């Protein structure tokens, strides 16, 4: 598929269809707003189209290459903005239903905001791990291919991340 996508626009369209949702989801949680997520998603695929002729299969799946492009664009985006901007949780679809008890919804909103802030206080690699695991529903093996680590190292990084998150939240009275 990737080999034919170098010369066949239809094959590239198929690659786009397969991967656009997960790439968008990843970028969305890294930048925190729809406008930037759409802009960076488009740039990721244009860059992939421009560079696919030079792409060489080195054992990792094609999507790992797309994530690398997306990651670099997100990093440049944050550098250009000069600082890390914490996304507003208002833009993230709440998990609660409209019929839920309002006080419980408010409490749940505070917990979500606290957790969101705690995630953003983690080192970048841990944030990427959490987004890939939860928002993109990837296995440890797939995450390892994207982050350039072994599956067992991803498992231990994940456990360390949970411990660090919990310690951070407890220190803030969660």
Partner 1 sequence: MFDRSTLSWRNLPVPLVGAARRYVPLNRPETPVAGAILPLMPFLSLARDLAALLVPVRPRADFRTGLQRNLMAAAQQQAARDRLFDAIPAVSSAQENRRWIWGAATVGSAVSLAGIAAYVWLQRHRQAA
* Dihedral, CA of residue 165, residue 63, residue 26 and residue 149, to nearest 10: 20
Query: CB of residue 94 vs partner 1: minimum separation in angstroms?
Result: 10
Query: CB of residue 7 vs partner 1: minimum separation in angstroms?
Result: 6
Query: CB of residue 59 vs partner 1: minimum separation in angstroms?
Result: 24
Kindly state the tokens that stand for 117.
């802030």
Q: Nearest CA to 85 among 131, 50, 116, 108?
A: 116
How far is it, in rounded angstroms, from Cα 40 to Cα 37?
5
CB nearer partner 1, residue 21 or residue 57:
21
CB nearer partner 1, residue 34 or residue 75:
34
Query: CB of residue 82 vs partner 1: minimum separation in angstroms?
Result: 26
How far is it, in rounded angstroms, from Cα 36 to Cα 70?
12
Three-class secondary structure of residue 94 per DSSP: coil
How far is it, in rounded angstroms, from Cα 107 to Cα 132?
27
CB nearer partner 1, residue 61 or residue 109:
109
CB nearer partner 1, residue 50 or residue 59:
50
Q: Which residues are at the interface with partner 1 (CB under 8 A)?
A: 7-10, 12-13, 16-17, 20-22, 24-25, 28-29, 34, 37-38, 41-42, 45-46, 49-50, 53, 92-93, 95, 111-112, 115-116, 119, 130-131, 133-137, 139-140, 155, 158-159, 162-163, 165-166, 169
Per the listing, tokens 């997100």 go with 74
Q: Nearest CA to 75 among 113, 34, 128, 137?
A: 128
CB nearer partner 1, residue 84 or residue 134:
134
Query: CB of residue 163 vs partner 1: minimum separation in angstroms?
Result: 8
């Amino acid at each position: 598929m990737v080999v034919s996508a170098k010369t066949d626009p239809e094959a590239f369209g198929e690659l786009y269809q397969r991967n656009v949702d997960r790439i968008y989801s990843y970028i969305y949680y890294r930048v925190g707003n729809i406008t930037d997520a759409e802009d960076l998603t488009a740039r990721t695929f244009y860059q992939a189209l421009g560079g696919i002729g030079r792409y060489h299969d080195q054992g990792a799946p094609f999507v790992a290459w797309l994530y690398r492009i997306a990651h670099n664009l997100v990093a440049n985006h944050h550098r250009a903005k000069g600082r890390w901007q914490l996304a507003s949780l208002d833009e993230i679809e709440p998990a609660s239903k409209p019929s839920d008890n309002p006080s419980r919804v408010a409490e749940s909103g505070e917990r979500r905001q606290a957790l969101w802030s705690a995630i953003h206080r983690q080192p970048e690699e841990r944030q990427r791990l959490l987004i890939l695991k939860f928002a993109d529903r990837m296995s440890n093996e797939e995450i390892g291919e994207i982050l350039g680590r072994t599956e067992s190292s991803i498992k231990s990084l994940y456990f360390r991340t949970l411990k660090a998150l919990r310690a951070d939240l407890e220190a803030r009275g969660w």
